[in-house]
Structure 1
C-alpha cells in the first residue's frame, strides 16, 4: 500500500513539474519577444542610442534576455537530466554569473543617472555623455565580474583536474564543494546588496529634497524621476533577493523535496522573471518618448505584415 502511495505521489509530482516547465516556457517566450521589440525600437532612433538612460536601459534588456535564455535552456537540460562536461558548464556559468549581476549594477547606475539629472542638472551633459556612458558600461561589467571571479577562483582551488572531464548536470551549485565556499559567495553578495541599497536610498533622499524645493514643471519632472527611482529600487530588491534564493532552496531541500520544487518554481517566477518584466514597464511604457516610438514601430510592423498577407 505504501509503495502505491509513493508511486501516485511521484506521478503527481512529475505532472506538477511538467505543468510548471510549460508555464515557464510561455512566460520566457513572452518576455523575450517584448524585449526584442524594445531593443529593435531602441536602435531605430538616434536619440535613444545617444542618451545615457536609454543606453543603460538597452544594457538591462540585453542582460535580461541573456539570463532568460540561458536559465531557460539550463532548466530544460536539468528537466531532461542532460549532462555535460564540467569545462563546458564553466563557460556557460561564467556568462550566467556575470549577467545575473550586470542587471542590478546597471539599475544602480541608472539610479545615479537620475540623481545627476535632477540634483546636478548643470553637470548632467558632462557626466552623462555618450563617451562617459560607454565607460560606465565597461565599469558595470568589471564590477559585475567580481562575484563570478570569486566563485570560480574558490572552485579552481578546490577541484581536481579529473573533475573537469566529468559529466554533470550544469548548475552553479556544482562549484560549491565546501561550506566555506558558500560563506565567501554569501559575503560577496551581501556586500553588493548593502552597497546598492545605500546608493538607492541616498539617491532617493536627495531627489526627495529637490522635489520639495522645486516648483511648476520642475516639480513634475522631479516627481517623475522620484517614481522612477522607487521602481528601480523595487526592481533592484527583487534582483538582489534572487541572490539569496540558492541558500533558501538548499535549506528546504534537506527538509522536503516537494516543498523544494514549489519554492524553486516560486523563486524563479518571482525573482528571476518578474524583475525582467519591470524594465519594459519603467522605460518602455512610462517613458512617453520611448512609448510613442514603440507604438509607431509596432503598428508599422503590423501594417506591413497585413499588406504582405494580402
Structure 2
C-alpha cells in the first residue's frame, strides 16, 4: 500500500513537472511568434524591404519559423499528453514539420550567399539578387526540403497497407520508420545536407573576412557587419546540425528512464529547436538599423502618444524611419 501511494505521488509530481515544462514552452513560443509577426508586419508595411532579396529571405525565414513552431508545438502537446490521431493526419503534420525544419537552414544558407555576393561581388549583386530571383530561389529551397520526406513517404507507403492510414496513433516522426535501415538513411541524408550548408557558410565567411581586411572606410564597415552576420548564421547552423544527434541520445536515454527521456527531449527542443529560430529575430530584426526603427514603432503600443507629447508626430517619426531605411544600404 505504501509502495502504491509513493508511486502515485511520484507520478503526480512527474505530471506537474511536465505541465510546468509545457507552460514554459508555450510562453517561449508565444514570445517568438509575437516578435516574428511584428517583424513580418514591418516587412509588409514598407516597399523598401519587399524590393530587397535580403529582406525577402528574412521574411520567408520568419514565416517558415512561425509555421514550424506551431506544428511542432501541436505535436509536442499531443505527444506529452498521449493524444492519438489518425495516421494520415499525422503524416500531413510530419510533412509540414519536416519540410520547414529544413527550409530554415537552407534559407539561412541563401542569406549567407547573398551577403557574400553583396560584399565580394558587388558588380554582379544587382543582376543576381533581384526580388524575382529571390522567389525562384525560394521555390528551389522548398523542392530540396521536400525531397527527403518524400522518399521516406514512398518507402512507408510501399511497406504498410492503405487501411493502416485510418488507424489511430500517437503522432511521432518515428512512426514513419518501418525498417531499421531507414533511420540510418534519414540520418545520412540530413547530415549530408547540413555539412554542405555549413561548408558554404564557412566559405562565405572566409571570403568576406578577406574582403574586410582589404577594404577601407564604409566598405570595411559594411564587410565587418556582413562578417558578423555570416558568423551568427554559422552558429545557427551549428545548433541545427547538433540537433541531428539528439535522436541518438534520446533513443539511448529512453531505455534507461522515461522521465529522464522526457527531460532530455525537452532540453533538446529548447536549445536546438527554439534557440536557432530565436536568433533569426536578433540577427536581422534587432541588429538591422532599417528594421529596428520601424519595428520599435509597431512594437510599443501607445508610442505615437509619447512622441506627440515630446513634440514629434507619428508621421514625422515614420518619416525619420523611412530616411534611415533609405540611407542604410548595408
Query: Which TM-score band applies after superposition, normalised by the shorter structure?
Result: over 0.9
Superposition deviation, residue 150 in structure 1:
2.2
Unaligned runs of 5+ in 1: none
SS in 2 for 1:168: strand
Superposition deviation, residue 59 in structure 1:
0.7
**Which range is displaced more, 247-256 or 211-220?**
247-256
Superposition deviation, residue 215 in structure 1:
1.1
Offset from partner CA, 1:54-109 (integer Å, 9 cap, x none): 00000110000001111111222223322111111111111111101000000000
The aligned counterpart of 1:171 is 172
The aligned counterpart of 1:46 is 47
Alpha-carbon distance in structure 2 between the residues aligned to 1:60 and 1:228: 15
**Superposed structure 1 runs of 4+ greater than 6 Å apart:** none
Contact 1:150-1:185 within 8 A present in 2 as well: no
**Which range is displaced more, 85-94 or 152-161?**
152-161
The aligned counterpart of 1:265 is 266
Equivalences for residues 46-195 of structure 1 within 5 A: 46-195=47-196
User: Structure 1 residues 301 and 191 mapped into 2: Cα distance closer, same or farther (>3 Å)?
Assistant: farther
TM-score by length of 1: 0.94
Superposition deviation, residue 262 in structure 1:
1.0
Alpha-carbon distance in structure 1 between the residues aligned to 2:78 and 2:234: 33
The aligned counterpart of 2:277 is 276
Alpha-carbon distance in structure 1 between the residues aligned to 2:179 and 2:252: 15
SS in 2 for 1:217: helix
SS in 2 for 1:47: helix
SS in 2 for 1:84: strand
SS in 1 for 2:48: coil
Query: How many residues in Structure 1 have an aligned counterpart in Structure 2?
Result: 306
TM-score by length of 2: 0.89
Alpha-carbon distance in structure 2 between the residues aligned to 1:186 and 1:157: 20
Contact 1:104-1:240 within 8 A present in 2 as well: no
User: Structure 1 residues 274 and 5 mapped into 2: Cα distance closer, same or farther (>3 Å)?
Assistant: same
Alpha-carbon distance in structure 1 between the residues aligned to 2:61 and 2:15: 35
SS in 1 for 2:50: coil
Superposition deviation, residue 300 in structure 1:
6.8
SS in 1 for 2:51: coil
User: Structure 1 residues 303 and 200 mapped into 2: Cα distance closer, same or farther (>3 Å)?
Assistant: same
Superposition deviation, residue 301 in structure 1:
6.2
Offset from partner CA, 1:4-25 (integer Å, 9 cap, x none): 4333322221111011001111
Alpha-carbon distance in structure 1 between the residues aligned to 2:223 and 2:42: 26
Alpha-carbon distance in structure 2 between the residues aligned to 1:134 and 1:205: 27
SS in 2 for 1:255: coil
